[in-house]
Every structure is written in C-alpha cells, then in structure tokens.
Amino acid sequence: MFEILEKRELAQNIKLIKISAPHIAEKIQHGQFVILMADERGERIPLTVADYDREKGTITIVFQEVGKTTKMLGAFNEGDEIPVIVGPLGNPAEIERFGKVVCVGVGVFAAPMTLLARSFKEKGNYVIGVNIARRADLIIFEEEFRAVCDEFYVSTDDGSREYEGIEFMKLILERGVDRVVVCGLVPIQKRICELTRPYGVKTMVHLTPIMVDGTGMCGACRVMVGGETKFTCVDGPEFDGHQVDFDELERRKRMYLVHEKVAHMMHKRLGTEC
C-alpha cells in the first residue's frame, strides 16, 4: 500500500498528491511515469511523476479528474492508501546541454514540465518556459515553473492572461532556439510541432496514449514514429514530435471513448466502482 502524505487542489478538478513510495523514489528519473490503480479491481492508468524526494522516499503526482479512475483517485484523502503503484516506467527524458531550450507545459502537464525545466537548467541550458491553459484559473505550477526558467510566458486559449493561443511562440522561435520540449495532450502537441517544423528546431513530445501494462507486452500504447511502430511505454514516452503520426495516435485514443463515458456515468450514478 502507498500512503498519501499530502493532498492539495491546484485548480478546478486538478489535484496534487504526495505519496510514500520509497522504492520508486529511489530509482525514478525525470520524464518517467508510474501506473497506478485506485482499486485492486480497477483500471490501470499511467501518470507522469511531477516531482520526487529520494531522501524522504516520496513521489508527487498531479492529475485532472476527467474519468472514473481519476475521480476515484481525487476522492482519496491524506492518510488513505493507494493499493497499486508500479514504476518507474518508460525511458528518462533526454537532458543534455543543448543551448536554448523551450519547455512547454500545457494544462495539468505544467507540473511534470516544471521538473524537466529544472533539469535542463541544472545542465546549463538557457530555459524558456511556456505555461499554457484554457483559462487563467486553470494555470497551475506558475510560480514553481517560473522559478526554474530564464524567461517565462503564460498563455490561455481565451486570452485572459499575457498571450492567447500558441502563435506568439513564433516570436521566440524567430530569435533562434536549439530544442523545444512539449508536455500536453495530443492536439496541442500536434499544433506546436506544426508551428516549430518550419524553423527546423528539434521538438520532443511526451506522449499520452492508451496504456495498459506499461511494460511493452500488450501493445495498447503503440504509435507510429518515423514510419515505424513504437511502444510508448518502453520506447518512450519521449519522441521526436516531427516524426510522430498524430492523426493515428488521436484515432487510437478515441477507440474506447464511449466505454470511458459509460464507466464514468455509472460511477457517478452509483458512487462505487462498477
């Protein structure tokens, strides 16, 4: 069992939990993820680790309540125990001294991006942070993210903060950068890759496909990268975004959309696991 030591609500339906997981904290590296189950008979969901403390044996996870399992997880309180957490999984992010690195964290993914940005900074890079959300009240980790960046920008879809959308990033790209790294959902990752492609800057994306076992055995997380089939759980989750077939990835993510909605509705109606 993995005890929840701290729980906070960062924004509407976005929660942070700090968990006692000494064996995972000992080995986790930036960009890796865990798979957890909110119930021993429930589904397995992957979540990127947003922070860790090796000495205290803790990992921090930030998630948005969007479906049945994340709703169940959001109902947990400090002192409660999560029955199953497996990790660390996936490959660590490529953290080297590249020069100027743009770190883009979208929505709830601003949390793990803060950890990556800090790592790039520690390697001696000039770090430009971009924190994007749908609305101003959904911006999270702003202070923590800003603190590890040399430059920092906030943008919302509705223009309620400094910038609107992602077009302003052209101003950054035109000055010359050496790498762009994006954590976010598939549609925004695709748009940012289309934005960076004309500038010839390598753009790395952290993918979030459907995932089951997380060890490369089930094949549920497969994605086409450079015309080859890759398994996100063992070959990723970080890939060259200009090589990813985002259209196929989005189609695969929607395969069980109806089932997810039904499970969510049943859970909401009964208040128990279905």
Locate CATH 3.40.50.80 in the chain. Answer: 93-199
How far is 124 from 133, CA to CA, in rounded Å?
A: 28
pLDDT at 261 over 60: no
What 3-state class would DSSP assign to 28?
Answer: coil
How far is 255 from 97, CA to CA, in rounded Å?
A: 39
Domain 93-199 carries which CATH code? 3.40.50.80
The token pair that represents 208 in the structure block: 């979030």
Residue-wise DSSP of 188-216: HHHHHHHHHGGGT--EEEE-----SSSSS
The per-residue pLDDT for range 85-104, each reduced to its tens digit, is 999 999 999 999 999 999 99
Residue-wise DSSP of 202-252: -EEEE-----SSSSSSS-TTEEEETTEEEEHHHH-SEEEGGGB-HHHHHHH
The per-residue pLDDT for range 149-163, each reduced to its tens digit, is 999 999 999 988 889
- Answer yes or no: are the C-beta atoms of 59 and 17 closer than 8 Å: no
Locate CATH 2.40.30.10 in the chain. Answer: 2-89
User: Considering only 7-11, 68-72, 160-164, 253-257, which range has the smallest mean pLDDT?
Assistant: 253-257
pLDDT band at 182 (very low <50, low <70, confident <90, very high): very high
pLDDT band at 258 (very low <50, low <70, confident <90, very high): very low
pLDDT band at 270 (very low <50, low <70, confident <90, very high): low
- Answer yes or no: are the C-beta atoms of 16 and 24 closer than 8 Å: no
Which helix (H) or strand (E) segment is 73 a member of? helix 68-74
Residue whose C-alpha is closest to residue 59's, from 103, 5, 15, 95: 5
pLDDT at 251 over 90: no
Write the DSSP symbol of residue 82: E
CATH architecture type of domain 2-89: Beta Barrel (2.40)
